[in-house]
Chain A
C-alpha cells in the first residue's frame, strides 16, 4: 500500500513540475490565444478595409456627419430643414423609425391578441374569419402588402381640391389625414399637471384597492375611479381655468392644406401594413399560448363560477403569457426591422434617409451601413432586454 501511495505521490509531483499539464494553466492559455486571435482578426479587417478605401480614393472617416445635408425630409418629429447637418437628418430618420415601430408594436399586439382569441371562439363564423385572416396575411410577402396599402388605398382617395371633409374640421385626401392641431394657451400647463397628478393617483388607487381586496375581500371600482381621476378631474380644471386651448384648422391654400397637423399616407400605410402583417403571426403565438395551458385550469375556473371572459382574463392568459412572451419578442424585433421597408413607399425612416440618401450623397457606404447596423442592434437589444425582464416578472413562482 505504501509503495502505491508513494508512486502516486511521485506521479503527482512530476505532473506539478510540468507547468503546461495543469488544467487551469491550459485554460488560461487557450483563452488568451483566442482573445489575441480575435483582436488580430478585427485589427486586420479594419486596417485592410481602410487601406483598400484609401487606395481607391474613396473618402472615409466620420467627419461627413457634420456636413450640410442639402435635402429635405417629408416627415420629421423634430425641427429640420435642408441647412442642417447629416447628423440631424440621422436623428430625424431614427425618430421616424422608433415612432412607427412603437405604434406598430402596440397596434399589432392589440389586433394579434383579439384575432388569436377569436380563432378559439366557439362562434363558427368568428373563428373561420380569424383563420382566413391569419392564413392569407401570413403567406403574402410583407413588401407586397405595403405596396397594396400604399398604392391601392392612395389611388382611391381624392386630390386636395376634392377632399373628403370630416367632422371636427378634419380633411381626408391623397396627401394625408389633416387634423386640427391643438394650440395650448398660457394656462394649459396647469391642466397638464392635473392630468399627471390624476395618472399617479389612479396608479396609487390600483395598488391600494389590491391591498384592500387581499385584506378584507371588498373590491373598489378601480376602473371608474381611474376614469374619473384621469379624465374628469383634468377636464374640470380645464373648464375652471377658462378653456386655454384653441385649434389651428387646416385650410386649402394653393396646392395643399396649410395649418393643422397631418398624418401622412406613407406613415399610415406603413403602420397599417406592418401591424396587420405582424398581428397575424402574433395571433398564432397567442393561440398556441392559450392552448398550451392545461385544460384542467379552464374547467376548474368554469366550475368555480367564473364567466368565459373572467376565465380568460384571470386564469388562462396569465399562465399563457409564459409561452407567449419569447416568440412575441421575436415578432416585435421583426416589426422593428421590417420598418426599414418604408423606403419602398417613401416613408423617411432611418434606412431611407441615412442608408439611402446620405449614403448616396457622401458615397461612404462602409461607415453609413456600420452605423445603421449598430442602431438596429441597439433597438433590438433594448426591446429584447425589456421583454426578458417582463418575462421573468411573469414567470410562475413554483412552490
Chain B
C-alpha cells in the first residue's frame, strides 16, 4: 500500500510536470503571437518605426500624443532604433512580413518599395484628409511620387519627414580679418573667383612658417555633386540607364576639385579630404568654407566665430547646384488602418507644434513653407542668410544621384576608388575613363534587378 501511495504520488508529480512542460512549450508559442493581439477589440493600434535623436523623439512623442487625443481608441506604438541599425531592422521587418504601419524610408528607396508592394499609394487618403499638400515643400512631396517607371512623378507614396539642403557655409570672421568682402548671397562665385579667394585665405596666421588656415576641405561624397552639376556634368543620364561620368565637363570638375588640394594647396592636405576630419578644423575656425546642413545648426550655434550661408561656386554652367536629401514617412501596404496611418504620417510631417519643436532644436528646417519662410525672414540671428536653405529646396537643389536607381552600388564604386584622384596620384580624366565601365556594369545589374522585382 505504502509503495502504491508513493508510486501514486510520483505519478501525480509526473503529471504536474507534464502539465508544466506543456505550459512551458505552449507559452513559448503564445509569447510569439501575443504581441499581435491588442487586448481590447475596438482599440486600434498603429505602429510607427523611426530613427532619430532626442529632439525628434520629443517632437514626435508630443505630436503622437495629440494624435491619440484626437482619435479615441487609437494607440500608437513607437519603435525607435539607432540610426545605423535602422535599415537592417527595417529589412528584417519587411522580410518577416511584419512591416510597421508608418515608418521612415529614404527617398531613394521609394521606387523599390513600391515595386515590391510594400508601401501604400496614399494619394487618395491625403486628398480626403483635411490637409493642404501645398503647405509642404513641393520638392519634399514630389520626391515621394512614383508612376511605376520614373521616380519623382505620379502617385504619392510618402510625405517628407524633413528636407535636407546641403548649403555652403563660410567663416565670416575670417573674411573680415583678411579684409576680403564677404561672398555675395545672391551671386555665386565662379570657380576662378572661388580659387582666388581660397588662395588668399590660405595663410600662415601666426608666422611660424607653417600654414594654419585653409580655404576648404570638402568631402567628395557630398560636395563633388555641386561641382560637377554646376559645370554641366552629371553622374547619370535622364533615363537612368547610362553612367555619364566620362565627359570632359565631369573631368574638368573633378580635376578642379582635386587641384584645390593638390595643385593649389588650399585644403589641409590630400589624404584627409576623404574623411570628415576637416569638420573639426572648421569648428576650430581653421577653414573658410564648409558645408552646412540644417542639422548642423545646433552644433554650429556654439562656434567661436560667426558663420553664414552662401551659394556653392558655379562652374561653366553658370548656376549653383546643391545636394538636397529627404527622409520620408510612408505607410505600409499591409496596414489594417490605412486612413489612420496616413493621417498619422500627415501629423508627423506637418504638425505645427512638432515642426516648431524641431526648429527650436535647430535640427531641421520646417516642412511647412510658411513657417520656414517666417523663420528665414529673421536675418538677425546666425546664420543670417537662412534663405539659402530655402533657395536650395525651392530652386537649385538636386537629389542624390542614386535617388531613382534600384541601389547605390554603382555610385559607391565611384567613391570607393576615388582616393588616388583626391590625393593627386591619378588624373581625373584617367580615373573617369577607367571607372565608367565598372559603374555602368553595376548600374545595368541594378536596372535588371529593378525590372525583375516589378
Same assembly: no
